[in-house]
A and B are shown apart, each in its own frame.
Chain A
Amino acid sequence: MDVTRRKLLKLAGLGALGLTAGKYAKVFANDAFTETTLSEIGTGKRWAMVVDVRKCLVKEDCRECINACHITHNVPNIGNTKDEIKWIWKEDFENVFSDQENHYLKENLKDKRIPIFCNHCDNPPCVRVCPTQATWKREEDGIVMMDWHRCIGCRYCIVACPYGSRSFNWQDPRPFIDNINSEFPTRSKGVVEKCTFCEKRLAEGKQPACVEACKEKALVFGNLNDQNSEVRKLLKENFSLRRKPGLGTEPEIYYLV
């Protein structure tokens, strides 16, 4: 067989294409999104919380969940909004669901304070920006965790989080904690903190502190991957809202209104 230069180049080109074909096929066959969603449904748990706003608003000035959380986790009460540290807090309905933009909001929701938390997003922007991997999404149950040992206090995550769920310790928080719970660490100056979905209590087989504290039973916690869980039942039977779903963060706190 006589091989001309032209033929050789053609064959080489085809060969190179063949070698990379596997990778091309992968790119075109399934995009990253379907891949992750499928793997999540297939394995383990996906913790989520349903907040029944109707029940929550029965007692409007109630702070049971906030107090329980903040006592359990040694969250300081600094007393000014500039430095404040918050794991659970309340905002007006209009601000919590700022993308609803309805001028004629239902009477019983107007100017009402709604409890908000870290949303433990399926696609957490805070995790993407963290330069030290001090925050990450746990593959086994979807909790967006923090390693306070590793946080360098750069505050990228605070900028990235569209929900304001993260607080920064501008000073040593210890003097601002009334009763220190020795079972749980405090944080130090220069560290970011947020709700951890009570992963320590979950490991002990307990419900999160806020869920346990709510007398109206307005907070329901459970596994979204379990079809028979209470959260799935509530979401099946009720219309629910999530905060800023258009951003694609896939928050896992659902509000029934």
Chain B
Amino acid sequence: MYDSGKIIIGIIIFIALFTFPTWYLFTSGEAAPMPDLVYPENEDQKECVYSAEYMRASHMDLLNEWRDIVVREGKRTFTTTAGKKFEMSMTNTCLGCHSNKAQFCDQCHNYLEVNPYCWDCHVDPSQLENQ
């Protein structure tokens, strides 16, 4: 092989740089910053429409379902298993409690690098106050 020294050194440098994020984490012992959620402090509404586990995994499915029921069927009231009634509205019901989108929704969305386009149209009321 011609120039084998240069090539092998080049490959070693490339692999070292390419795997930098992985071995840096292992050697430095610091974990990547975890999402830091701020939960709502709502005195009269302590429970969400479903359990936290369900919401964490499936809130996007629930929102899609609500969207179709409200827009397509014109029904707006959601009854929880405990019998409590809510308006099926992301801006008015979800953000009514989880009023800080930046400290709640965005935390995990940014961590997972997902970009839901809900906010292209639906309004974040806390954003309006800042304007």
Contact = CB atoms under 8 A, between A and B. Distances in A.
Counting chain A CB atoms within 10 Å of each CB, which of B74, B92, B117, B124 scores highest?
Answer: B74
Given A149-B67, A188-B117, 10 more contacts: A74-B123, A145-B71, A172-B120, A180-B123, A181-B123, A182-B123, A183-B92, A184-B123, A188-B121, A199-B74
B74 A203 contact: yes
Contacts of A184: 123
B123 to A, nearest CB: 4
A43 B117 CA distance: 38
Interface of A: 74, 138, 140, 145, 147-149, 172, 180-188, 199, 203
Interface of chain A, main secondary structure: loop
Contacts of B124: 182
Contacts of B123: 74, 180-182, 184-186
A182 B71 contact: no
Interface string B61-75: 000000100011010
Contacts of A203: 74, 76
Interface range, B side = 10 to 19
Contacts of A187: 121
Contact of B91 (A148, A185, A188): A185
A180 B128 contact: yes
B71 to A, nearest CB: 5
Contacts of B71: 145, 147, 149
A45 to B, nearest CB: 12
24 contacts: A138-B74, A145-B71, A147-B72, A148-B121, A149-B71, A172-B120, A180-B123, A182-B91, A182-B124, A182-B125, A182-B128, A183-B91, A183-B92, A184-B123, A185-B91, A185-B121, A185-B122, A186-B121, A186-B123, A187-B121, A188-B117, A188-B120, A188-B121, A203-B74
B46 to A, nearest CB: 24
A143 to B, nearest CB: 9
Contacts of A185: 91, 121-123
B121 A140 contact: no
A186 B121 CA distance: 5
Contacts of A145: 71
A183 B93 CA distance: 10
